Amino acid sequence: MMDEVRWIKTAGEVELQKQAADLLDEAYLEVFPTIRPGDAEWEVHARLLASCIRRGFGWAHGILNSSANHVMYGGESDLLFRSGDFVRNDYVAYLHGYAGHQSRLAILGSPNDEHQRGYDLTLEVHRKTIEKCQPGVTAGEVYSFVFDEFRQHGIEYTASLVGHSMGPWFHQQEPVLRRDSSILLEPGMVLAIEPQRGNWHLQDLILVQEGSPLLLSDRFSTDELFVIGQG
């Protein structure tokens, strides 16, 4: 019963989630341009956590790895970023108990054609998934939608979820957008949407409402791949 009560957010809770999302995006926008070839993963991770704390978050955690690191979610290592590496990240930062929770893909140096095609596909599926999250749709239907979208491009989607609800303190709670889940999406749910494959990972916070969802994490534009070291 408590889980179901937490699915639906009050206007005040939505505002806190929005504030947290904005502050986390600002931390990304501050730190990403400072990354240079030769920086260690742990050094960049430390700068991002420091930025979050300076902005008023009570606690922050997450991952930040180079695409050359094949052990994702294994912690930040001494591995050095190189030109052409993606910056793979997934952070949660808590503001008064409510979390900003976004992932923003960036690359050191100019992307090649393969990088650009991969990003364009990731962004296309990501935004279609957001639009799919409307009242009356089940969490399982959203998962199946993502699975089918990638299969049309010859890609087998293997991740166990494509998103999840946001809750106070513990960020990942039901409804989890996973295979065969029968939980119906309802107005007032705040969801983290993250159809992902390998290093290709975008994540946004949305508010489910009548009609198209409202993008809460809009401070950092994902219209284009974020390129570090240009200009």
Six-digit token string for 215: 């993008």
Six-digit token string for 52: 């979050």
How confident is the model at residue 93, as a pLDDT? Answer: 96
- Here the CATH number for the domain that contains residue 122 is 3.90.230.10
How confident is the model at residue 183, as a pLDDT? Answer: 96
How confident is the model at residue 89, as a pLDDT? Answer: 96
Q: What percent of the chain has pLDDT over 70?
A: 98
Q: With bands split at pLDDT 50, 70 and 90, how would you rate the model's confidence at 72?
A: confident
In three-state form (DSSP H/G/I as H, E/B as E, the rest C), the secondary structure along 54-122 is: HCCCCEEEEEEEECCCCCCCCCCCCCECCCCCEEEEEEEEEECCEEEEEECCEEECCCCHHHHHHHHHH
> Which tens digits make up the pLDDT trace of 163-209?
999 977 667 788 999 999 999 999 999 999 999 998 899 999 999 99
How confident is the model at residue 4, as a pLDDT? Answer: 82
> Which tens digits make up the pLDDT trace of 87-144?
999 999 999 989 999 999 999 999 999 999 999 999 999 999 999 999 999 999 999 9
**If you search the block for the tokens 């609800």, which residue do you land on?**
165
- Structural domain of 207: 2-228
Total domains, the chain? 1
DSSP letter assigned to residue 213: P
Q: With bands split at pLDDT 50, 70 and 90, how would you rate the model's confidence at 69?
A: very high
Indicate whether 80 pLDDT > 70: yes
Residue type, 36: R
How confident is the model at residue 74, as a pLDDT? Answer: 84
What is the rounded distance in angstroms from the CA atom of residue 37 to the CA atom of residue 68? 13
Indicate whether 231 pLDDT > 60: no
